[in-house]
Amino acid sequence: DAKTTQPPSMDCAEGRAANLPCNHSTISGNEYVYWYRQIHSQGPQYIIHGLKNNETNEMASLIITEDRKSSTLILPHATLRDTAVYYCIVRVVGRDDKIIFGKGTRLHILP
Amino acid sequence: GAGVSQSPRYKVAKRGQDVALRCDPISGHVSLFWYQQALGQGPEFLTYFQNEAQLDKSGLPSDRFFAERPEGSVSTLKIQRTQQEDSAVYLCASSSRQGADGNQPQHFGDGTRLSIL
């Protein structure tokens, strides 16, 4: 079973920041938080990952709470092309292992 | 391109036929994964290779499913005597060797959409 909880769907206005929450209250100390997204008819796309510090790359920012029990993926200026299903995943550090996907959050960007 | 390539993009087969799905991982990637994605669901793990060794096949739903990666590069997922419930998108992903800083992300292809009539 997936070890994360996400809202099934969210809306965001184009140009605004999209903040996608994820609960991972049972996360272990050796588990990273990963985010992937899947645009319609495409394979999942890696976005970002982190252990305990906040992370930022060209796609998004990842904010992890101090207790690591939840996180937020931030798309700073959402565009219509960001419409996708977003998956929050936890994975063990240093282990090359399968990804267990949950149902994710379906993000709709509204024009 | 430099990404994971899967072929065919679409496959239609009659129930009972055998099918073979191909995955070309990113060059040099040691690890290769196959996933199955039913309509409206997240991908589900099928099997995992490290080079040519199949280290985990716990997700294969039945003995009709078989995967191979004989030279540690291209992989083929074969489904024998297909059934309607095999209809799904089959995704392939690859990743490079684990680094000192932990996990390497998996890079996915766009999948093969299999329809069994």
Q: Under an 8 A CB cutoff, do B106 and A45 touch? A: no
Partner A contacted by B54 (CB < 8 A): no
d(CA B115, CA B34) in angstroms, rounded, equals 17
Residue B2, pLDDT > 90, answer no
Task: Find the CB nearest B106 among A99, A103, A104.
Answer: A99
Strands in B75-79's sheet, in edge-to-edge order, are B5-7, B19-24, B75-79, B65-68
Residue B59 has a pLDDT of 95
Summarize pLDDT for B50-108 with one digit per residue, the tens.
999 999 999 999 999 999 999 999 999 999 999 999 999 999 999 986 655 556 789 99
Burial class of A105 by CB neighbour count within 10 A (0 to 12, 13 to 18, 19+): buried
Partner A contacted by B25 (CB < 8 A): no
d(CA B37, CA B88) in angstroms, rounded, equals 6
